Amino acid sequence: MVGPGGDEVYYPREVIIKGMDILWAPWRSSYVENVDNIESCFLCNAISQPEERWRDVLVLHKSSESFIILNKYPYNSGHLMIVPIKHTGNYEELSENTILDMDRLLRLSLRALKEVFKPHGFNIGYNIGRPAGAGLESHIHMHVVPRWNGDTNFMPVIAHTKVISQNLLSTYDRLKEALSSLLTNM
Ligand SMILES: [Zn+2]
């Protein structure tokens, strides 16, 4: 199946088709429920892995205060998240340094996504708290979702699957390469 980015996209049987009535609603069911502490936080777990395991846990890049991780349950091709290293569910607890660092990673991500997927637009934002659609409340994360003209009528949300698809790994490799070359030339 060809996805909105022109890539071959793998959709397992668990695909859920949803409209985009509420901006961030599609992520509501995407994550592990009841994650309240660092020990069981998949974001803390991912960023604590050694660099040679980053591909397995989909971490693309780590800076001093934050990191970029590919969303395992993408809303669209290239859906990634910018995450502070600090485990907190409260945006107001982030230091200005952390927010600046996350913003730097956001801009880096946008450049890489434009280069690799040539999207027509982006949704960028936070789900804070359960009623706002946060699947993981205890560790704040910024979603970055590439958008293409016409993709609002067909929104696949891949949920409830533990298998990392081949498509996700190929997205990982392409973004990793784009990020590395952007970082080298900065
Ligand atoms: Zn955490």
pLDDT of residue 38: 53
How does pLDDT run across 70-90, given as a tens digit for each residue?
Answer: 998 887 889 999 999 999 999
Share of the chain above pLDDT 90, in %: 54
CB burial string 163-179: b at 16+ within 10 A, e below: eebebbeebbebbbebb
Q: Are 133 and 123 in contact (CB under 8 A)?
A: no
CA atoms within 13 A on the CB side of 134: 20
Whether 10 is in a domain gets the answer no
Q: Is residue 8 part of a domain?
A: no
Q: How far is the CA of 5 from the centre of ligand 1 (A)?
A: 31
Per-residue confidence (pLDDT) for residue 89, from 0 to 100: 93
CA pair distance 107, 101, nearest whole angstrom: 10
Report yes or no on 158 lying in a domain. Answer: yes
Q: Specify if 6 maps to a domain.
A: no
DSSP assigned state of 11: -
CATH number at residue 111: 3.30.428.10
Number of domains making up the chain? 1
Percent of the chain residues past pLDDT 70, beyond the cut: 71
The tens digit of pLDDT for each residue in 121-175 reads 999 999 888 887 777 889 999 999 998 887 764 444 444 344 456 688 999 999 9
In a domain, 4, yes or no: no
- Alpha-carbon distance of 47 to 84, in angstroms, equals 10
Closest by CA to 115, choosing from 164, 53, 177, 166, is 177
Sequence-separated (6 or more) residues with CB below 8 Å from residue 68: 59, 60, 61, 62, 80, 81, 82, 83, 105, 108, 109, 179
The burial of 118, by beta-carbon neighbours within 10 Å (0-12 exposed, 13-18 middle, 19 or more buried), is given as exposed
Q: How far is the CA of 134 from the centre of ligand 1 (A)?
A: 14
Domain for residue 114, yes or no?
yes
Residue 71 in domain: yes
User: In this structure, is residue 118 part of a structural domain?
Assistant: yes
What's the pLDDT score for residue 114?
A: 98
Neighbours of ion ligand 1 (CB under 5 A): 41, 43-44, 87, 139
Ligand 1 center to 139 CA (angstroms): 5
Give the residue, 51 or 156, on which the prediction is more confident. 51
Residue type, 142: M
Domain boundaries, position 136: 16-184
Confidence of residue 27 (pLDDT cuts 50, 70, 90): very low
pLDDT given at position 21:
34
